[in-house]
A and B are shown apart, each in its own frame.
Chain A
Amino acid sequence: MTNLLPLIRNECTKIIKKKRFYVILLILLVLVPMFTYAQMRIAERSRDKFNSDWRLEVQQQITDNQNSLGSDRIPEEWKSYRRIFVQQLQFYLDHDVNPNEPSGVTFTREFLDNSVSLFIPLLIMAVASDLVSGERTTGTIKMLLTRPVKRWKVLFSKLVALLMFVSLIVLSVFVISYLISGLAFGYKGFSIPVFTGFQLSGDTVDMTTVHSVPQWKYLLMQGGLIWFVSVVVAVLAFMVSVLVRSTAASIVVMMAALIAGTILTNMAAAWTTAKYLFMVNLGLTGYLAGTPAPIEGMTLSFSMAVLGVWGIAAIIISFAVFTKRDILN
């Protein structure tokens, strides 16, 4: 009877020695400064334009959006999106809170909102897509499975190692984007209030449940949701990696699914059954910020349930296939 802990240790060693995690850190260290710089330019421009008065800036945004509502060339879905946006901005303005207060924390919050459905899943795939298919590509799976260890234990140790690294990746995205953007915007901003709890129905916003939370708390909630999304994506990539023999194929399958998700999010409003696909449900943090869901009828709990079901199914399939399958090559 082999204990699980040494097996998990093995899997972690392999992930580290393969330098996959360093590659992820490197990607972050290259990309985050780029985004920070872009954000800095935006901030500079609006400062020049509005003389550092954020109220003027928000007012301008509201007017711009309202004007565009009158245009015939804008599709109806975009209009309702903008109506919601206008109402939220107005709410911030009424409560005298700057929604875009520049700070390292605000940058982190916005960066994470934008990266939850594609960028972070991509980083996770760098580890997950290779876990099983990598062993098959190199043939080491034969060594791994001919040791006196039950197959489910081997797979389970890989899954645990994966979840540990997923958590580490999510944490590193937070820490790195805060540390780097802080250089440009300052490290303060944890206590800035952020509004959450917008209830959307059609194109009107119900403000009764809206409350303000300090930004640090918002970040924590966001972190939890992102972690959940990441785990589901990781488990799905893990399943693909069990099913497909080559790592390249495994990455392509997951990439295709994720990109299909972003495309569908932009055009599937009419096809309502698409809401049961995992890839349109990845933007969990949008519910927190009050961005309208891509498809009518999607709520935070709905999306979490859909993701949860996909994740559990993926785990069941992974174990069923891995423990039964003949290793033919």
Chain B
Amino acid sequence: MTKETGGGTGNVVLSVDGVRKKIGRKWIIDDVTFDVKQGEIFGFLGPNGAGKTTTIRMLVDLIRPTEGTITVCGYNVNRDPEKALQYVGCIVENPEVYTYLTGWENLQHFARMQPGVGTDRIAEVVEIVRLDQRIHDKVSTYSLGMRQRLGIAQALLGRPRLLILDEPTNGLDPKGIKELREFIRELAEGGLAVFVSSHLLSEIQLLCDRVAIISKGRVLAVGGVNELVARNSPYVLWDLEPLETARGILEERSDIRLLRLDEVTLDDSIIAGMGEGSLITAMEDDLIPEIVAVMVTAQVEVRAVHKINPTLEQLFLKLTEGESID
């Protein structure tokens, strides 16, 4: 499902270079560096409190970085916000709009704040987010999903080159999430760079071309989703009888690593479904038929073989675990 752009080509729209932020005596953000290119969907991953929102606020000049520079389309966001921010549409946290105005009045309000956005463009974005039915109603009567769409309409008003969405699926139902995902992909295909933050890894994996993983204010990894995921070999779960013979066979192989349960990062649901005597190995999946054959010759009953593809979640847990040790 994910497009592989990995290294990618095209113009850099957003460039974050060595950004740090000190609040009080604490470094809230400690070295964040990444680039976002035209036409790509860039995921910004991290647990709650990792510094995602602080970083996003720095991207749009709500917070000034203590060190480092943030550049949008060649303009420094903090030194030249009038130029830089006209290429940016954003929703920081919730889509906060004026509830005592109508949707249309809200859009008019924000249209007046940027050059070259007239009534035609307002009508256009209303159509894009499919709010035309209710646009003249007061926002206080809107559902959360509609407010979200109004927020996106607002973000798109100035024909941005970079769209920043902070936890965009928060509070949306599964259907809304799916729609939003398709919508974001459409926008990216139109050449927009989309920056999406989330703490839901599966969501990012489904949606994004490249990701940055952040934890405790540090970017731990940046890269294409597939490329990052490929750093982990898949796990294979074996249900074998008799267990001891099987363990002996697996231990002899140099291309297979037997893992203890506490060494692996697996979904809780998989761990719960595992049999008493399951063995967990890290190995290339093309070895499976060979091993099965070996087992059979050795009179070992192969009851189940279960391959688990590496996920961003595993990578993420692995990376953040290392962090918590030091």
Interface residues of A (CB under 8 A from B): 1-2, 6-7, 9-10, 13-14, 17-19, 138-140, 142-151, 324, 326-328
Q: Which residues of B contact A (CB under 8 A)?
A: 23, 54, 57, 60-64, 81-86, 88, 90, 92-94, 96-101, 105, 109-110, 112-115, 154, 158
Assess whether B93 is in contact with A140, with CB atoms less than 8 Å apart: no
Cβ–Cβ contact A146 & B90, under 8 A: yes
- Closest-CB distance, A22 to chain B (whole angstroms): 12
B105 cross-chain contacts in A, Cβ below 8 A: 13, 17
Residues on the B chain within 8 Å of A14, using CB: 98, 101, 109
Contact B113 A17 (CB under 8 A): no
The B interface is mostly helix, strand or loop, or mixed, namely loop
Given A7-B112, A17-B100, A18-B100, A143-B62 contact (CB < 8 Å): no
CB of A295, distance to nearest CB on chain B (Å): 42
What residues of B have a CB within 8 angstroms of the CB of A18 in the complex?
100
Residues of B within 8 A of A10 (CB): 109, 112-113
A148 contacts B62, C-beta separation under 8 Å: no
Known: A14-B101, A17-B100, A328-B63. A142 touches B112 (CB 8 A): no
A148 and B81 contacting across the interface, CB-CB below 8 Å: yes
- Say whether, besides A138-B99, A327-B57, A6 and B113 are in contact (CB < 8 Å): yes
With A and B bound together, what is the CA distance between A138 and B101 in angstroms? 13
Q: Are A143 and B114 in contact (CB under 8 A)?
A: no
Given the complex of chains A and B, what is the CA–CA distance between A144 and B115 in angstroms? 15
Contact partners of A326 in chain B: CB under 8 A: 23, 57, 62-64
The reply to whether B110 and A147 contact each other, CB–CB distance below 8 Å, is yes
Known A-B contacts A14-B98, A140-B96; A145 and B113 likewise in contact (beta carbons under 8 Å): no
Residues of B within 8 A of A324 (CB): 64
A138, B92: Cα distance in complex, Å: 13
Q: Is the CB of A143 within 8 A of B115?
A: no
Q: How far is the CB of B262 from chain A (nearest CB, A)?
A: 38
Check B62 against A327 for contact (C-beta < 8 Å).
yes
B54 nearest CB neighbor, chain A only: A328
CB distance from A145 to the nearest CB of B (A): 6
How close is B252's CB to chain A, nearest CB, in angstroms? 58
B17–chain A nearest beta-carbon distance, Å: 20
Compute how far the CA of A151 lies from the CA of B77 in the bound complex, rounded to whole angstroms.
13
Q: Which residues of A contact B64 (CB under 8 A)?
A: 324, 326
Q: Is A145 a contact of B61 with CB atoms below 8 Å? A: yes
CB distance from A7 to the nearest CB of B (A): 7
User: Given known contacts A10-B109, A139-B94, A327-B63, is B115 in contact with A146 (CB within 8 Å)?
Assistant: no
- Give the residues in chain B near A138, CB-CB below 8 Å: 96, 98-99
- Given A7-B112, A13-B109, A17-B100, also A150-B82 (CB < 8 A): yes
Q: How far is the CB of A312 from chain B (nearest CB, A)?
A: 27
Complex-state Cα separation, A148 to B117, whole angstroms? 12
Q: How far, in whole Å, are A145 and B57 apart by their CA atoms in the complex? A: 10
Q: How far is the CB of A16 from chain B (nearest CB, A)?
A: 10
CA gap between A151 and B165 in the complex, in Å? 22
CB distance from B148 to the nearest CB of A (A): 13
Do the beta carbons of A140 and B98 come within 8 Å of each other?
yes
Write out the residue numbers on chain A whose beta carbons fall within 8 Å of the beta carbon of B57: 142, 326-328
Q: 5 A–B contact pairs at CB < 8 A? A: A147-B85, A324-B64, A326-B57, A328-B23, A328-B63
B114 in contact with A148 (CB, 8 Å): yes
Residues of B within 8 A of A7 (CB): 112-113
Check if B92 sits within 8 Å of A142, measured CB to CB.
yes
Whether A148 and B158, one on each chain, are in contact in the complex, defined by CB atoms closer than 8 angstroms, is yes
Docked pose: A151 CA to B63 CA in angstroms: 12
Chain B residues, Cβ within 8 Å of A146: 60-62, 85, 88, 90, 92
Question: What's the nearest-Cβ distance from chain A to residue B284, in Å?
Answer: 47
Closest to B65 in A: A326
Minimum CB distance partner of B95 in chain A: A143
A17 vs B105: C-alpha distance in the bound complex, in angstroms? Answer: 10
Shortest C-beta distance, B161 to chain A (Å), equals: 13
Task: For B63, list chain A residues within 8 Å (CB).
Answer: 326-328
Enumerate chain B residues within 8 angstroms of A1, measured Cβ to Cβ: 82, 115
Most chain B Cβ neighbours within 10 Å, of A13, A147, A327: A147
Q: Are A143 and B154 in contact (CB under 8 A)?
A: yes
The 10 A-B pairs with the shortest beta carbon distances in the complex, nearest first, are: A139-B96, A6-B112, A148-B86, A147-B113, A148-B85, A327-B62, A146-B60, A326-B63, A142-B92, A140-B96
For A9, the chain B residues whose CB sits under 8 A away are 112
Shortest CB distance A168–B (Å): 19
Could you list 13 further interchain pairs (A-B, Cβ under 8 angstroms) beyond the known A142-B62, A148-B85? A2-B114, A143-B110, A146-B88, A147-B85, A148-B81, A148-B82, A148-B83, A148-B84, A148-B115, A149-B113, A150-B82, A327-B62, A328-B57
A residues in contact with B94, CB < 8 Å: 139
Task: Give Cα distance in the complex from A143 to B60, angstroms.
Answer: 10
Chain B neighbourhood of A328, CB < 8 A: 23, 54, 57, 63
Contacts of A149 in B (CB 8 A): 82, 113-114
Q: By the criterion CB–CB under 8 Å, are B114 and A139 in contact?
A: no
Complex alpha-carbon distance, A73 and B96, angstroms: 62
Contacts of A13 in B (CB 8 A): 101, 105, 109
Q: Chain A residues with Cβ under 8 A from B114's Cβ?
A: 2, 147-149
In the bound complex, residues from chain B placing their C-beta under 8 Å from that of A2 are 82, 112-115
Closest chain B CB from A57 CB (angstroms): 51
Smallest CB separation, A138 vs chain B (Å): 6
Within the complex, what minimum Cβ distance (angstroms) separates A154 from chain B? 8
Residue of A nearest to B62 (CB): A327
Chain B: minimal CB distance from A266 (Å): 40
CB-CB < 8 A to B109: which residues of A? 10, 13-14
